[in-house]
Amino acid sequence: MNTTPKKRSLFESFRRRIKLEGAISVADYMADVLIAPTHGYYMSNEPFGVSGDFITSPEISQMFGELIGFWCADTWYNMGGPTEIHLIEMGPGRGTLMSDLMRAAAMVPGFHQAVKIHLIEVSPKLRKKQKEALNGYNVSWYDDLTDLPTGPCIFIANEFFDALPIRQFERSPKGWCERLITLNEGETGLVFTLSPPAKAIETIIPKELVDSHEGAVVELSSIAANVSAQISNHITQYGGVALFVDYGWGTPTAKPSLQAIRNHKKHNVLLEPGTADLSAFVDFPTLQKSAKANGVSVHGPLNQGDFLRSLGIEQRAEMLRLNADEKQAIDITAAEHRLTDPSQMGDLFKVMALTRPDQPTPAAFPEQKETP
C-alpha cells in the first residue's frame, strides 16, 4: 500500500489546525484519522482480513457469525416471533458477520421472512463490500443511529465501540489534566502534551479512579455513552435487544489502551495518521451506566469464551470437523481456540446484552438480571 500521499495530507491537515487552534483532543484526532472524508483510515483502506491490517472474530471463523445468528433467531422467537423485526448491525465490516448470521438463522422458520436488515456504516468502500457479501438480501444503510426504523430491533455491535473516539486524562503532580496532541518543536510530527490541571476534569473521572496514582491515565468516550443511551431509549420505546461484543475493561480501570495497528502489528499512534487503525479498550462500566439510566436491563458483560461455549461452539466445531479434511480440521480447532481460550480472545473480549425489563433474559446470560 502506498501511504505517502495520505500520511502527508492528513498530517498537514493536523499541522494547519493545531497552528490555528492549538492542541487538539485525542478524541478529535481519532475521529479525523478514522473517518475524515478523503484520507480517513476507514474511508480509503481495506482494513479487514488477512490482506488488511487486522482480523475480527467473523473473519477468523464462520462459527462466530453462525452462533450469533442462532442467538438472534432465539431472541426473536422469545420475543413472541414478531412478524417484523429490524436487525441492525453497527460497524459491519465486510458484511461477513451478517452473512454468516443470516445463513445460520435460516434454520429457524419465519425468521428470514420477518427480518429487515439495516447497517450503520459511513465508509463507501465498506458499503460496497457489504453489498457484495449480502447479495440477495434487502439491506438499508445509514450513517448513524438518528434515522432508526420504529418497531422492535435486534442491535449487533461487534468491535464497534473500540473505534469510537476517546478522551484521555492523566493524573499529574498538580492534578488531573487532559492529554492533548500538538506539534513537535520542528513542526515535523505530532506529540502528546498535557492541558493545565483543572477541577472540572476531576468531576468527570469515575469516582473509583479519582485517587489513582500519579501518571495514571483514564480513557472516557462520551460518544460511546451516547450510543448506548440511544440504543437503550429505542429498546425501551419499541422493544428489542442489543448485543455488544468488544475487547475492553469489565471494571473501571486507569490504564492507557489507545493503540494503532497496521499490517497486523502495533504502530506508533501519532506516526503517519490515516495509515493505521486506531482503537481503545471499551469501557463497559460506562456503557452499563448509560444503558441503565435509560431504562433497560443489562446482562453481563461475560467473557467471550464463556458466551460462545454457552451457545455451543465446541459442538459446532466438532460438527464441522466431521466433514473436513485434515488441514481444515486443524484450522477449525485453531479458530475455536483463538475465539475462546483465555490466553487469546476468550477473556479479553467481553459480551453484554441489553433488554427491556419485561423481556426474557437472552440466551447464554445468567437468569438473574442486573439491578439498577
Is 50's pLDDT higher than 80? no
* SS3 call for 235: helix
Q: What is the DSSP letter of 161?
A: G
pTM of the model: 0.92
Of the candidates 252, 234, 254, which has an alpha carbon nearest to the alpha carbon of residue 288? 252
Digit-coded pLDDT (tens) for 153-176: 999 999 999 999 999 999 999 999
Close Cβ partners of 206 (under 8 Å, ≥ 6 residues apart):
218, 252, 285, 286
- CB atoms inside a 10 Å sphere around CB 273: 29
Residue boundaries of the structural domains of the chain: 44-163+221-251+275-355
Kindly state the average pLDDT of the residues 183-211: 95
Average pLDDT for 187-214? 96
Pairing of strands 167-172, 85-90: unpaired
Name the DSSP class of 162. Answer: G
Residue 371 has pLDDT above 80, yes or no: no
Specify the CATH superfamily of domain 44-163+221-251+275-355: Vaccinia Virus protein VP39 (3.40.50.150)
Mean pLDDT of 73-93: 96
Question: Secondary structure of the chain: what % helix, strand, coil (to 5)?
Answer: 40, 25, 40
Q: Would you say residue 372 has pLDDT above 90? A: no
111-148 per-position pLDDT tens digit:
999 999 999 998 888 999 999 999 999 999 999 999 88
* Percent of all residues in the chain with a pLDDT value above 90, rounded to a whole number: 84
pLDDT for residue 47: 53
Span 283-304, average pLDDT:
97
Q: What pLDDT shows up at residue 49?
A: 47
**Calpha distance 47→126 (Å, rounded):** 9
> What pLDDT is stored for residue 35 in this prediction?
81
Quick one: which of 348, 362, 347 has its CA closest to 259? 348
Mean pLDDT across 49-67: 76
Give per-residue pLDDT as tens, 233-289. 999 999 999 999 999 999 999 999 999 998 878 999 999 999 999 999 999 999 999
Q: How far, CA to CA in Å, does 318 sit from each of 285, 314, 328, 329?
A: 35, 6, 12, 9
| Of 45-54, 230-239, 314-323, the least confident | 45-54
Helix (H) or strand (E) holding 101: helix 96-105
- Cell readout for 300 is 453481563
Mean local confidence (pLDDT), 320-332: 94
Q: How confident is the model at residue 368 (pLDDT cuts 50, 70, 90)?
A: low
Q: Are the beta carbons of 332 and 216 closer than 8 angstroms?
A: no
What are the beta bridge partners of residue 358? none
Q: How far apart are the C-alpha atoms of 42 and 93, rounded to whole Å?
A: 10
Range from 40-49, 122-131, 217-226 carrying the lowest mean pLDDT: 40-49
How far apart CA 289 and CA 225 sit, in angstroms, is 8
How high is the pLDDT of residue 218? 98
pLDDT averaged over every residue in the chain: 92
